[in-house]
């Protein structure tokens, strides 16, 4: 049975409505699939705002908390706080390096690449730009090299867990900024102390072995100290020798040589003891107060870089780095 003209008009309107709904649904699904296939860089884009003093203070506090979480190996928490730093002060592009380091620790190479690419976009003339470009290339090569391995393992084993996809790598061991230099100083100082402790008694023994007192003024051997009032008036007899500086006069050359050697050994021993003690004390202070371990990534990311910056209505320099 054929329908009336109004019935045909009603079905045509319904068909148009269904077609319109289908078109909207199709566009929505296509957009979602496109966004899923092509991940967006959350750190990309220009910074169109200037941080206030309150923003800078808040960024400094967030950075301090992020460092503490990073040093304890809580990289996800550290990333949250460093992203807060970047949201508060988007001109602090050095924070992107900290974020990239933390993502690498989590095994999330894609987000690490995003952070590094955003850093290069914001600071293309940075002194470390070439190193960062090489780092990005290496991360992308690692991603591509591990894709076939992951797909092959998926066909013969159970689906990998999230921890297998993004393994948490152990943090690099902390490094002392001065290495073993303080302990070398302590060792050299200890050797000097030992040498001084040996030379001083030997020198004193050599001196006392030839030194004569007032009771031996008439004994034509050995040496007498010129500064001793009891023996200083004894005139030099034939064969007597006066030491350099006038400290001793001796009856024979052998006694003279022994007295001079003893004086030299005593002086060197005292100097070695003083220098060695100072070196040991200084080396220990150096090690305990100024050579505390520091994370390797913090040393690299803690550098401050200055980059020229020119834009519409502004020119100057861009200072970036960790706080």
Q: And the tokens for 166? A: 């993004």
CA-wise closest residue to 275 among 212, 205, 209, 199: 199
* Residue 300 resides in a domain: no
Q: Are residues 187 and 253 in the same domain?
A: yes
Number of C-beta neighbours around residue 304 at 10 A: 10
Q: What is the pLDDT of residue 190?
A: 95
Burial 2-16 (b: 16+ CB within 10 A, else e): eeeeeeeeeeeeeee
* Residue 243 resides in a domain: yes
Q: What is the pLDDT of residue 220?
A: 65
Q: Which residues of the chain have pLDDT under 50?
A: 1-3, 5, 7-8, 10-11, 13-15, 17-25, 27-38, 149-166, 233, 238, 301-307, 309-310, 314-315, 317-320, 322-323
Q: Are residues 115 and 197 in the same domain?
A: no
Q: Are residues 171 and 96 in the same domain?
A: yes
Q: What is the pLDDT of residue 293?
A: 84
pLDDT digit string (tens) for 188-240?
999 999 999 999 999 899 887 877 765 665 666 777 776 665 555 455 554 55
pTM, entire model: 0.39
* Residue 202 resides in a domain: yes
What is the domain-level CATH number for residue 94?
1.25.40.10
Q: Are residues 171 and 206 in the same domain?
A: no
Query: Do 184 and 215 contact (CB within 8 A), yes or no?
Result: no
Q: Are residues 235 and 157 in the same domain?
A: no
Q: Are residues 93 and 156 in the same domain?
A: yes
319: part of which helix (H) or strand (E)? strand 314-320
Query: Which of residues 144, 175, 206 is at a domain's end?
Result: 175
Tell me how far CA of residue 236 lies from CA of 212, 233, 240, in angstroms: 15, 9, 6
Question: SS3 of 312, please?
Answer: coil
Q: What is the pLDDT of residue 164?
A: 40
Q: Are residues 189 and 287 in the same domain?
A: yes
* Residue 66 resides in a domain: yes
Q: And the tokens for 34? A: 């496109």
* Residue 134 resides in a domain: yes
* Residue 323 resides in a domain: no
DSSP state of 52: -
Determine if residue 118 is left, alpha or beta; phi over 0 gives left, psi from -120 to 50 gives alpha, anything else beta.
alpha
Q: And the tokens for 148? A: 């076939």
Q: What is the pLDDT of residue 187?
A: 94
pLDDT digit string (tens) for 147-196?
654 444 444 444 444 444 445 556 677 888 888 999 999 999 999 999 99
Q: Are residues 187 and 284 in the same domain?
A: yes
Query: Which of residues 175, 191, 213 is at a domain's end?
Result: 175
Q: Are residues 198 and 156 in the same domain?
A: no
Written as one string, the DSSP assignment of 258-279 is: HHHHHHHHHHHHHHHHHHHHHH
Q: Are residues 198 and 280 in the same domain?
A: yes
Which residue range is the domain that position 74 belongs to? 53-175
For 138-181, the three-class secondary structure string (H helix, E strand, C coil) is: HHHHHHHHHHHHHHHHHHHCCCCCHHHHCCCCCCCCCECCCCCH
Q: Are residues 165 and 60 in the same domain?
A: yes
* Residue 18 resides in a domain: no
Q: What is the pLDDT of residue 250?
A: 75
| Cα–Cα distance for residue pair 193/23, rounded to 1 Å | 90
Query: Do 82 and 66 contact (CB within 8 A), yes or no?
Result: yes
Query: Which of residues 175, 205, 229 is at a domain's end?
Result: 175
Q: What total number of domains does the chain contain?
A: 2
Q: And the tokens for 226? A: 């010129």
Query: Do 106 and 75 contact (CB within 8 A), yes or no?
Result: yes
* Residue 71 resides in a domain: yes
Q: Are residues 170 and 57 in the same domain?
A: yes
């Amino acid at each position: 049975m054929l329908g009336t003209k109004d019935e045909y008009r009603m079905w045509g309107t319904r068909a148009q409505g269904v077609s319109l709904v289908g078109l909207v649904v199709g566009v929505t699904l296509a957009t979602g699939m496109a966004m899923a296939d092509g991940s967006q860089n959350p750190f990309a884009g220009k910074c169109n705002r200037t941080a206030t003093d309150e923003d800078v203070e808040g960024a400094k506090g967030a950075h301090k908390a992020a460092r503490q979480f990073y040093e304890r190996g809580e990289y996800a928490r550290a990333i949250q706080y460093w992203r807060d730093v970047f949201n508060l002060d988007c001109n602090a592009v050095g924070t992107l390096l900290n974020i990239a380091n933390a993502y690498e620790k989590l095994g999330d190479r894609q987000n690490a690449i995003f952070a590094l690419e955003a850093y290069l976009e914001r600071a293309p003339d940075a002194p470390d730009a070439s190193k960062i470009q090489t780092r990005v290339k290496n991360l992308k090569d690692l991603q591509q090299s591990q894709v076939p391995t992951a797909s092959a393992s998926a066909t013969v084993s159970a689906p990998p867990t999230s921890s297998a996809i993004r393994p948490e790598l152990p943090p690099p061991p902390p490094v002392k900024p001065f290495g073993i230099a303080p302990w070398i100083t302590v060792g050299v100082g200890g050797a000097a102390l030992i040498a001084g402790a040996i030379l001083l008694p030997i020198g004193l023994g050599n001196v006392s072995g030839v030194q004569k007192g007032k009771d031996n003024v008439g004994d034509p051997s050995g040496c007498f100290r010129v500064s001793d009032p009891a023996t200083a008036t004894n005139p030099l007899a034939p064969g007597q020798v006066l030491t350099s500086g006038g400290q001793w006069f001796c009856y024979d050359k052998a006694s003279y040589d022994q007295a001079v050697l003893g004086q030299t050994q005593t002086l060197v021993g005292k100097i070695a003891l003083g220098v060695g003690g100072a070196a040991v004390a200084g080396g220990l202070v150096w090690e305990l107060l100024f050579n505390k371990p520091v994370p390797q990534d913090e040393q690299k990311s803690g550098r401050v870089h200055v980059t020229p910056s020119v834009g519409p209505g502004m020119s100057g320099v861009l200072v970036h780095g960790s706080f």
